[in-house]
């Protein structure tokens, strides 16, 4: 995973002071690293009968849709509020400061769908946990959550104890 680590750029104090932002744009810019990240993300799930991949706006769309492509399944965008044009189901959750909401179309998931959830970064786990809830509200089953980066010190794993978790690069 050294190849991937070398393509993840630390941006101190973004978007607010005290946060070290993990910038994945150099990684997705480099074709070899992008292909490596996607193939490693989906590796444990190739034989798990995944029927759809769901990804969180916005960087989850990049990795999630490519993972869906490689698995030969469809992609479900979990979006910020007010973006989706049809009827939605939503889940609200606490952030470090304030609240956030994710939405999906009510018909985005077929009953019993086996979902792989994909995002770029697992930090506190709030976003991923809410995403799992949203998938389940819509009748899907979360097979696993997969992340390119896990910020282990923030203990997001604890929020996802009930789910299988896969991450490629761990920072502690
Ligand atoms: P959390 O809900 O705390 O796990 O935050 C996860 C979401 O916030 C993911 O969608 C990430 O894209 C983003 N995020 C949180 N912390 C960082 C960070 N240090 N660098 C880049 N993205 C982050």
CATH topology of domain 48-171: Rossmann fold (3.40.50)
Condensed to tens digits (0 to 9), the pLDDT of residues 99-145 reads 999 999 999 999 999 999 999 999 999 999 999 999 999 999 999 99
Does residue 126 line the site of ligand 1, with CB under 6 A?
A: yes
pTM across the whole model? 0.97
Stretch 49-71: mean pLDDT, rounded? 98
Determine the Cα–Cα distance for residues 74 and 52; give it in Å rounded to an integer. 5
Q: Is the CB of 129 under 6 A from ligand 1?
A: no
Q: Where are the domains of the chain?
A: 48-171
42: CA distance to ligand 1 center in Å?
20
- Give catalytic status of residue 150 as yes or no: no
Q: Check 35, 94, 96, 155 and give the catalytic one.
A: 96
Q: DSSP string of 57-123?
A: TTHHHHHHHHHHHHHT-EEEEEB-TT--SS-EEEEEEE-SSSEEEEEEETTSS-TT-EEEEEEEEES
Residues 15-57 have pLDDT tens digits of 999 999 999 999 999 999 999 999 999 999 999 999 999 999 9
Residue 162, pLDDT score? 95
Active site residue 79: no
Distance (angstroms) between ligand 1 centre and the Cα of 115 equals 21
């Amino acid at each position: 995973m050294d190849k991937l680590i070398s393509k993840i750029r630390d941006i101190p104090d973004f978007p607010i002071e005290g946060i070290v932002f993990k910038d994945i744009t150099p990684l997705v810019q480099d074709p070899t690293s992008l292909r490596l990240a996607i193939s490693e993300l989906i590796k444990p799930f190739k034989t798990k009968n995944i029927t759809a991949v769901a990804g969180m706006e916005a960087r989850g769309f990049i990795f999630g849709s490519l993972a869906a492509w490689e698995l030969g399944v469809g992609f479900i965008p979990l979006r910020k509020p007010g973006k989706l044009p049809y009827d939605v189901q939503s889940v609200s959750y606490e952030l470090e400061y304030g609240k956030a909401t994710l939405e999906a179309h009510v018909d985005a998931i077929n009953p019993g769908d086996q979902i792989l959830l994909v995002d770029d970064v697992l930090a506190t786990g709030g976003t991923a946990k809410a995403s799992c809830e949203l998938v389940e509200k819509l009748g899907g089953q979360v097979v696993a959550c997969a992340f390119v980066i896990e910020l282990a010190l923030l203990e997001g794993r604890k929020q996802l104890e009930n789910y299988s978790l896969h991450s490629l690069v761990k920072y502690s």
